[in-house]
């Protein structure tokens, strides 16, 4: 059995070119490195915007690393055991974000040892996936928002996502109407409330915004509110997308069984890495629900190429790790004319400076 011979983690702060808000001017990356007993090396990472990076680093250093040394280096065979080991500190959230740091490094080592990129190593099913333009833009003035949407149109995106959830619903209506007019009828528009509404507010807001034909409403309620999402799904016709803040396959299954999500969006890091992400993808397939990975296109885009259906990759403006100068190597993916493709590389292709 190939085992883990060494593992380390370091915290890197990556400044954002365009802040996501007054309190989010950088993202925290915990860069990880694993050495297997056969000499193969792998590089991975955990990630969190602003909150919790130090806690994730501490878990990786003080709890995950000591338990990992000498254990099985097969990420699929060992993930559940490691999750059970950390469960006393919480079933998801900081614990699963930290677990991703080891899981991704192990998958990187496996793919590098095979001389493959991760999508080929897992079984690539297509050469390209559709990407949509996305931005953290609720704080943008309307003219700034429209300028961003125009950049996406000029870049060839056929779908875009904008934030909603202004205190005054009339302002949301004005902004969404202006974006829909700029996009025209043939491009897709998604809206994301980032958990800002309660059930009644969400019902009222979506009723007002439905005429602009959003492809989905993302995180209309607190992610913890399973019953609220199920009830909202009964009230509205716009598909509900959730997953950015669901942290385990168990939670995704609960949402799918309850009919509380018509689209799921697992964040590969927040759910604990590639291993649980693949389990969630199987659950989505079993329930006939589309899956579009959340954020991190340089990783999630590679995984999208391995999925059934028609997955989309989310390309957030000015947030790519390569664009921010955070990577040792060139980006492992390219986005052009609204499509994401892989650039030849080994493993994940994500080593942080």
Rounded Cα gap, residues 28 and 48, in angstroms = 5
Given the residues 57, 121, 161, 163, the one annotated as active site? 163
What's the gap between Cα 77 and its chain centre? 23
290 touches 266 (CB < 8 A)? no
- Angstrom CA distances, 145 to 25, 83, 222, 230, stand at 19, 41, 25, 31
Given the residues 33, 121, 294, 345, the one annotated as active site? 294
- Return the H-helix or E-strand segment holding 343: none
According to DSSP, the β-strands at 214-218 and 188-192 are: parallel
Rounded Cα gap, residues 82 and 102, in angstroms = 10
Backbone φ, ψ for residue 171 (5° rounding): -70, -40
What's the gap between Cα 24 and its chain centre? 17
Residue 294 annotated among the catalytic residues of the structure: yes
Reference 244, options 313, 292, 299, 196; nearest CA is 292
- Angstrom CA distances, 206 to 157, 216, 234, 347, stand at 24, 10, 13, 42
Helices (H), the chain: 53-59, 65-68, 75-86, 94-113, 118-122, 142-154, 169-183, 199-209, 226-235, 249-257, 274-287, 297-304
Q: Which residues are catalytic?
A: 163, 294
């Amino acid at each position: 059995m190939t085992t883990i011979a060494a593992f380390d983690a370091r915290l890197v702060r990556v400044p954002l070119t365009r802040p996501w808000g007054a309190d989010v001017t950088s993202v925290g990356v915990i860069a990880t490195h694993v050495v297997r007993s056969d000499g193969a090396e792998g590089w991975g990472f955990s990630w969190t915007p602003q909150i919790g990076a130090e806690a994730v680093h501490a878990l990786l250093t003080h709890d995950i690393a000591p338990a990992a040394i000498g254990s099985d280096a097969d990420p699929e065979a060992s993930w559940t055991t490691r999750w059970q080991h950390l469960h006393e500190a919480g079933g998801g959230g900081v614990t699963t974000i930290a677990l991703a740091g080891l899981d991704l490094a192990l998958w990187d080592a496996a793919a590098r040892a095979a001389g493959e990129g991760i999508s080929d190593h897992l079984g690539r099913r297509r050469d390209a996936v559709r990407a949509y333009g996305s931005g953290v833009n609720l704080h943008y003035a309307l003219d700034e928002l429209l300028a961003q949407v125009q950049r996406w149109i000029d870049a060839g995106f056929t779908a875009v996502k904008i934030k909603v959830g202004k205190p005054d619903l009339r302002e949301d209506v004005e902004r969404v109407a202006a974006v829909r007019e700029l996009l025209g009828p043939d491009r897709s528009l998604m809206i994301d409330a980032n958990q800002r509404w309660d059930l009644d507010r969400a019902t009222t807001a979506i009723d007002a915004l439905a005429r602009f034909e959003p492809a989905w409403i993302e995180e209309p309620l607190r992610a913890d509110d399973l019953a609220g999402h199920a009830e909202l799904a009964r009230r509205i016709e716009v598909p509900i997308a959730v997953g950015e803040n669901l942290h385990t396959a168990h939670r995704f299954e609960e949402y799918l069984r309850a009919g509380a999500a018509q689209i799921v969006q697992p964040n590969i890091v927040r759910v604990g890495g590639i291993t649980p992400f693949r389990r969630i993808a199987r659950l989505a397939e079993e329930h006939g629900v589309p899956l579009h990975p959340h954020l991190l296109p340089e990783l999630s885009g590679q995984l999208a190429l391995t999925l059934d259906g028609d997955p989309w990759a989310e390309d957030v403006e000015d947030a790519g790790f390569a664009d921010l100068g955070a990577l040792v190597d060139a980006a492992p993916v390219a986005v052009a004319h609204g499509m994401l493709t892989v650039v030849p590389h080994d493993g994940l292709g994500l080593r942080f400076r």
